[in-house]
Amino acid sequence: MIEVQGVSGQRVAVLGLGRSGLSAARALRAGGAQVLAWDDNPAAREGASEEGFEIKDLSRDGVFDDIASLIVSPGIPHLYPQPNKVVANALRAGVPVDNDIGLFFRSFSGTGWEAYDQPPKVIAVTGSNGKSTTSALIHHVLEEAGKDVQLAGNIGRGVLDIDPPGDGGVVVLELSSYQTELARALTPDIAVFTNLTPDHLDRHAGLGGYFAAKRRLFAEGGPDRAIIGVDEDEGLFLAGQLAVGRGDDRVIRVSADRRLSGPGWSVFARKGFLSEYRKGKQAGSIDLRNIKGLPGAHNHQNACAAYAACRTLGLAPKVIERAFQSFGGLPHRSQVIAEKNGVAFVNDSKATNVDSALKALMAFDKIRWICGGLAKEGGLSALVPGFGHVAKAYVIGREAAEFSLQLEGLEAEVCTTMERAVARAMEDAQPGETVLLAPAAASFDQYDNFEKRGEDFIRQVTSRL
């Protein structure tokens, strides 16, 4: 556990008692704070009470008169579309609002570090798509290289649940926009920006607010190295803001779309080959085409970002390449779950928006595509460039018929349930084809989350093999 510093003797309120909220409450208590906890869910309150935390309704008037700060869980809105009532009460009372990420960064450095040969480092990864895979891949490479490394944040453990790092230790954090937007302290040693596509727009009042939340990790965090995906305008702009000149190698530009040139430091992938250039000369390369855990151009972008992060820590290209070969991928993210009679079965249930689903479609040829669910704003027109890879679509979800009408030009069968979609796709699939779950929609019309949807796909496939 990372004990929170600077709170001894203070009364600190915690709103939201899920994974991050409870870990924050424990770390605050370990740092000497008196914790007052609240969650609208009675079961969550009961669980916190059983751990000895004082339960206090933070929505009542005057409750913040003697509270030093409020710690808010990521899912609770603090500004848009409108502030949670508790957050609004705290702000009106002049009480600082923070989250577990802010507590982590202000408490991370510990006593005894002066005796370390190499101070511990933090690598923080954010972006719209690929941040989980990039974070897990960095962690895997460092682990394979024998480093003391921990994975936390939006993936793995809560940031305050990790062990205090040892000499030369590395902490890899996946950070969402919800986390970077509110944290009062953001000081990673290395920060990674994968890409930006529209998402969570209601929470951030539009694309500009969403980008601003991501940008805080770099503009306010002041990392020693910034690794920036430049395949969108926002990434180009961010890299330009951070660099003081063309040869500034504190900014590493990453692309899976084109060859990058210039005197600076860049890592890019073209036609399945990763290349690293520094000062205009090639410094390393990896053939990504046969790495099963990293299929498609979107995963090649993740590989470039992870490669760059590991290179900043001094790992050799060959060491990184060996670790890439043994990376198995993440569940529900281009996860190859089976192959039989020349047909591959791929679970990409995490493809909950149009952009991520398009990347999944572009990664394979001759696809039997299982899609559908709770559609997001903007429609499906952006998927059209991937339709040439699809032999047929099998549409699930309560609104499957309406969803299928947006797949103009594709043969689409309304299946509604995962069971029927998998059965029909397996009946139709021919050798050399891929049965792909890439829903391009949220799961909440039929499942609690995308993980449950992916697990159902796996269950339906494996029961028929």
Task: Decide if 178 contacts 75 (C-beta within 8 A).
Answer: yes
Please indicate if the annotation marks 133 as binding a ligand: yes
Q: What share of the chain is helix, strand, coil (3-state, %, to 5)?
A: 35, 20, 40
| Distance spanning both ends of the chain, measured CA to CA | 44
Is 132 annotated in some ligand binding site?
yes
β-bridge pairing 273-278 and 121-126: unpaired
Neighbours of 352 (CB within 10 A): 25
Distance of CA 413 to the CA centre of its chain: 32
DSSP string, 281-337: EEEEEEE-TT-TTS-HHHHHHHHHHHHHHHHHTT--HHHHHHHHHT---BTTBSEEE
Kindly compute the dihedral angle of the four CA atoms of residues 228, 232, 233, 237, in this order, to the nearest 10 degrees: 0
**Neighbouring residues of 265: CB distance < 8 A, sequence distance ≥ 6:** 249, 251, 252, 253, 276, 277, 278, 308
What DSSP character marks residue 35? E
What the block records as the tokens of 397 is 């979800």
Assess contact for 160 and 1: CB atoms under 8 A: yes
Question: What is the distance, to the nearest Å, from the Cα of residue 283 to the centroid of all Cα atoms in its chain?
Answer: 29
The conformation of residue 205, written as its DSSP 8-state character, comes to T
381: left (phi over 0), alpha (psi -120 to 50) or beta: alpha
What angle, rounded to 10 degrees, do the helices at 418-428 and 450-462 form? 50
CA 228 to each of CA 141, 211, 236, 237, 253: distance values in angstroms, whole numbers, following the listed order: 19, 13, 8, 10, 5
- Tokens representing 149? 């490394």
Is the distance from CB of 251 to CB of 226 less than 8 angstroms?
yes
Question: b/e for 123-142, b at 16 or more Cβ within 10 A?
Answer: bbbbbbbbbbbbbbbbbbbb
* Annotated binding-site residue? 349: no
CA nearest 276: which of 238, 304, 241? 304
Kind of pairing, strands 265-270 and 251-255?
parallel
| Binding site per annotation, positions for ATP | 127-133
| Binding site per annotation, positions | 127-133
